[in-house]
Structure 1
């Protein structure tokens, strides 16, 4: 169980006791210290991306565009939570109004939404580990296979090694790479600190 689990048991809308990205940095005593690793932010909305970058910048982290040595790379997937970002600007007002009260209370600020991404980057709990799905600064729990994903859970198909392998092969094919040549291709990419 994550040290932040209890902070998420009774949400009270944005700005409540749930930690922010900067709080995660402080809790891990990372502020002003180099993290000794590189961090890759592969996608984010303008609001969450900037909060993630702000928090990671306090650690003097080096952000990179790609990875050279896949054997030392660990990846995680995560759900930042319900955040009213510009991504929701096209959601019809009646849909927003129909959100149940529990979901509305679970809404997070930008800073709170960025916290799980930052936690994934700096947490000692995840050091040397990857391939996990995170929610609310913890590993997500297995949900019911009823087709409804709720409260940050995952379903049985989330960890399907056959489908993961198929997606990998299809992705390589789409970008014109052969699996046996992949390591040579990746090794030829040079990294530079930003």
Structure 2
């Protein structure tokens, strides 16, 4: 149960009674309360990332932000970048080398990170695209780059954890993970079968598996992984959607009711990152600022429930092992 359950019972569209990211900060009495702590947020050039930053900035936390397009991020963040506690770093998530370089910059500024929010992502790329590293672009951007960033910042996350404020890794997944799990023999569609939504679903399932495995491996050390579905929000992540699909979504009355503003869409991310009720907890998939409930394996991409493959220790461990190999790292266990 969550204090926000009632607000989500009967949604009435963007701007309704559902909480915003700033509401989460206020309800946890965190204004100015996180001074001295550090957070890293990826994907801050538009949409949810911007709103996450705006909310976290009110806590006094030091922020390291990454974006592929730094110019666009500067325009989107505006006055936030005037704060001396906020630093913007270029990171192209289609390049593992770029991730390494960004992590190096962060670690040159701090040796402790309390919160890592892996927010950046792309959705439904129409045709199969491979990165320069040879990886399917959605898998690389949404999963592998975040996996590598975590590995590079892991010591800093472990160093920052304390009894009263344990470190958190927040993975922004999506309800689309329900339609397709990870497939080790075809991560990059080298055996064919590419479909925009299948590739997206696999990458988003990978986000959940990564969070679950982080909690399994490091939860007892005070480092926790949490994943979430932010909701349906009209942001730039939908730029690859066809005009026909966008028009059909506009005409869908039920969809219009559950649609959130970016401020509301960022709420579950901020909830996962700082809500006091989640202190010392992890391995959870959240929806609407609460833990998701089990639903049917119906192949529906927009349902707010989880399915049988959402939690799968065998596949989580398998993806972890394979991801280490893809980014060229050894297992530390």
Tell me whether the two structures share a fold, i.e. TM-score over 0.5. yes
Quick check: 145-154 or 109-118, which moved more? 145-154
Residue in 2 aligned with 1:103? Answer: 255
Quick check: 85-94 or 105-114, which moved more? 85-94
Deviation at 1:35, TM superposition (A): 6.6
Specify which structure has the bigger relative contact order, considering alpha-carbon pairs within 8 angstroms and separated by 6 or more residues.
1
Mapped pair 1:51 → 2:46: no
Pairwise mapping of residues 33-182 of structure 1 onto structure 2 (< 5 A)?
Answer: 33-34=33-34, 37-43=37-43, 46-63=46-63, 64=113, 66-68=153-155, 69=158, 70=218, 71-99=221-249, 100-179=252-331, 182=332
Work out the CA distance in 1 between the residues paired with 2:48 and 2:303: 19
Deviant stretches of 4+, over 6 Å: none
Deviation at 1:45, TM superposition (A): 6.5
Work out the CA distance in 1 between the residues paired with 2:329 and 2:290: 35
Deviation at 1:34, TM superposition (A): 1.4
Work out the CA distance in 1 between the residues paired with 2:44 and 2:25: 19
Residues 149 and 155 in structure 1, CA contact (< 8 A), matched pair in contact too:
no
Residues 125 and 35 of structure 1: is their aligned pair in 2 closer, same or farther, counting only changes over 3 Å?
farther
Residues 35 and 122 in structure 1, CA contact (< 8 A), matched pair in contact too:
no
Work out the CA distance in 2 between the residues paired with 1:92 and 1:75: 34
Quick check: 63-72 or 114-123, which moved more? 63-72
Higher strand proportion (structure 1 or 2): 2
Residues 22 and 115 in structure 1, CA contact (< 8 A), matched pair in contact too:
yes
Q: TM-score, normalised by structure 1?
A: 0.85
**Root mean square deviation, CA, Å:** 2.0
Residues 76 and 175 of structure 1: is their aligned pair in 2 closer, same or farther, counting only changes over 3 Å?
same
Residues 162 and 20 of structure 1: is their aligned pair in 2 closer, same or farther, counting only changes over 3 Å?
same
Residue in 2 aligned with 1:23? Answer: 23
Residue in 1 aligned with 2:94? Answer: none
Structure 2 gap ranges (5+): 64-112, 117-152, 159-217
Quick check: 40-49 or 77-86, which moved more? 40-49
Quick check: 57-66 or 73-82, which moved more? 57-66
Work out the CA distance in 2 between the residues paired with 1:3 and 1:108: 18
Structure 1 gap ranges (5+): 184-194
Work out the CA distance in 1 between the residues paired with 2:229 and 2:44: 11
Residues 89 and 141 of structure 1: is their aligned pair in 2 closer, same or farther, counting only changes over 3 Å?
same
2:286 aligned counterpart, secondary structure:
strand
1:51 aligned counterpart, secondary structure:
helix
The count of corresponding residues between Structure 1 and Structure 2 is 181
Residue in 1 aligned with 2:204? Answer: none
Work out the CA distance in 1 between the residues paired with 2:3 and 2:228: 17
2:285 aligned counterpart, secondary structure:
strand
